[in-house]
Chain A
């Protein structure tokens, strides 16, 4: 296994933008760990794909990072802070710099595309401004630019529930980028989409994050997509990391270990 050396590598290189996870443990029910003391270092640039079968804790892992899920034990070190220990205002301020893209888009359905994008700025905007929709002019202009960038020019006043799946995910990505994040988390961003749209969404995410030099962690169970877009692959099975390395090093033997069985590989 390459997990332990990778931690050393990322930290010893002095990659100050890396995300380092130490002994991360999550138990939804006491004594039944979903994450079993995970050690992982995510490099501070490029896309890292986390692959593994459903129910193996990929989603829990990614949600521990922005604390949508409370870790039971362990550390999540990012930009000089232990994210696992934050609470209240400090947690909200850390979340402002962590963008997230969801499997089912999680747009606010009854809001317009523009309002959904501006949700990405809610960590910075006072409640009365949000209520009256008086967002800073710069935010609104950036939202328009991002809409052009994701290919949804002219959709600003459409309601989110009027969009197709692919369009919704484009809005989801734009909302995350609106946060000007230090890291982008994507939880199965293509699992609800058809194969062609999936590739387009991955391309868009890689492009937007690449241009802005934002590191991306993406949970994905499509191994081909992971190989195609990620510079680094983390294979998980049963709550533990069993592969951590470049896509080229991922062999059928690894996949067998990650997903179990082998008939599906043929």
Chain B
């Protein structure tokens, strides 16, 4: 290679090095190593755990469907909790998400709406379920209320973000025809966000199904109570039967979601 005259000048850089980002990654890595060392993970503990786990799994087989009545009652109740909570959760999330969208609403409306969403998101559904069990007593109602709160916290935020990403040109054109606010929403906003809303709604149904199998542990109704009792009585073969049915339910929901998304594409 002949040294060209311009090679004397320093090579021009096409990309600026991003030092803050590099520093951030380095700090994250350091913290993970530090936190891992503090928690006392050792190889021996891991090996012992594997052995326990092996015995536990061995006792689960074969799954025991003898008490199928108890199982089906619990699953049906969980399904009801999930569907009802998703329905009302989404119904309430629609206005909350709209009020929280900063491109259509003034700040004095979006801030309280965002505050409500943040409040609903602050606690895990199980903690909310404990509150509702204390307030409303044992049973499916407490579970439903807990999952409605969780749905609002999650879905309104996604709804608001979807609304904030719409094309305002389309909205502007509808507004220019003299349409009132509701008509602008119906013909200018809703068509742009509907497919994404359907996606979020099916995702939330999926999420609520999984959570509805869990709220029973704290008394919120559904299969959770049965599952928890089976664990405590060391009926691990029954536990496996319940788990298999839950997996089947989630898979069935996945199929239904995929179908719903295609219909509303």
Q: A residues within 8 Å of B by Cβ? A: 66, 68, 92-100, 102, 104, 106-111, 115, 119-123, 125, 127, 130-131, 172, 175, 179
Q: What are 22 A-B pairs with beta-carbon distances under 8 A?
A: A98-B178, A102-B169, A102-B172, A106-B170, A106-B172, A108-B170, A108-B173, A108-B192, A110-B191, A110-B194, A119-B173, A119-B174, A119-B177, A122-B174, A122-B178, A122-B179, A122-B187, A125-B183, A127-B180, A127-B183, A130-B187, A175-B177
Q: How many of chain B's residues have a CB under 8 angstroms from any CB in A?
A: 22
CA distance A218 to B176 in the complex (A): 16
* Complex: A120 Cα to B175 Cα, angstroms: 10
- Specify which of B170, B176, B179, B184 is in contact with A100 (CB 8 Å cutoff): B176
Q: B188 at the A/B interface (Cβ < 8 Å)?
A: yes
**Which residues of B, 180-237, contact A by the 8 Å Cβ criterion?**
180, 182-184, 186-188, 191-192, 194-195
When distances are taken between beta carbons in the complex, the residues of chain B under 8 Å from A119 are 173-174, 177, 179, 187-188
Check B176–A95 contact: CB distance below 8 A. Answer: yes
Q: Given the known A-B contacts A68-B176, A122-B178, are A109 and B170 also in contact in the complex, defined by CB atoms under 8 Å?
A: yes
Least Cβ distance of B263 to chain A in Å? Answer: 14
Add 4 more A-B contacts to A102-B169, A179-B177 (CB < 8 A). A92-B178, A92-B179, A127-B186, A131-B186
- The answer to whether A96 touches B187, judged by C-beta atoms less than 8 angstroms apart, is no
CB contacts (< 8 Å) of A122 on chain B: these are 174, 177-180, 183-184, 187
Residues on the A chain within 8 Å of B177, using CB: 95-96, 99-100, 119-123, 175, 179
Do A93 and B178 touch (CB < 8 A)?
Answer: yes
Complex Cα spacing A179 to B179, Å:
11
CA of A102 to CA of B167 in the docked complex: distance in angstroms? 14
- Which of the residues A104, A115, A121 comes within 8 Å of B169, measured between beta carbons? A104
Cα distance A123–B175 when bound, in Å?
9
Q: A96-B177, A179-B177 are in contact. Are A108 and B172 (CB under 8 A)?
A: no
Name the A residues within 8 Å of B170 (CB-CB): 106-109
Within 8 A of A (CB), among B151-174: 167, 169-170, 172-174
Q: How far is the CB of A115 from chain B (nearest CB, A)?
A: 7
Identify the closest chain B residue to A120 (Cβ).
B177
Residues of chain B within 8 A of A92, CB atoms compared: 178-180
A109 to chain B, nearest CB (A): 7
User: Which B residues lie within 8 Å of A121 (CB)?
Assistant: 177
B173 to chain A, nearest CB (A): 4
- Write the nearest CB–CB distance from B184 to chain A, whole angstroms: 8
Shortest Cβ distance from B189 into A: residue: A108
- Across the interface, name the chain A residue whose C-beta is closest to B168: A106
Question: Nearest B residue to A127 by beta-carbon distance?
Answer: B182
Residues of A with C-beta under 8 A to B175: 68, 95
Q: Give the 9 A-B residue pairs with the shortest CB-CB distance, closest first.
A: A123-B178, A96-B178, A122-B179, A95-B178, A106-B173, A127-B182, A110-B191, A122-B183, A106-B169
Q: For B174, B177, B179, B191, which residue has the most chain A Cβ atoms within 10 angstroms?
A: B177
Bound complex: CA A110 to CA B180 (Å)? 20
Q: Which of B173, B178, B192 contacts A102 (CB 8 A)?
A: B173
Nearest CB of chain A from residue B195's CB, rounded to whole Å = 8
CB closest residue in chain A, given B184: A122
The CA-CA distance from A192 to B182 in the complex, in Å, is 31
Task: Output the nearest chain A residue to B183 by Cβ-Cβ distance.
Answer: A122
The minimal Cβ–Cβ distance linking B255 to chain A, given in whole angstroms, is 25
Instruction: Please measure, in the bound complex, the distance between the C-alpha atom of A68 and the C-alpha atom of B180, giving whole angstroms.
Output: 14
> Are A100 and B173 CB-contacts (below 8 A) given A108-B191, A109-B192, A119-B187?
yes
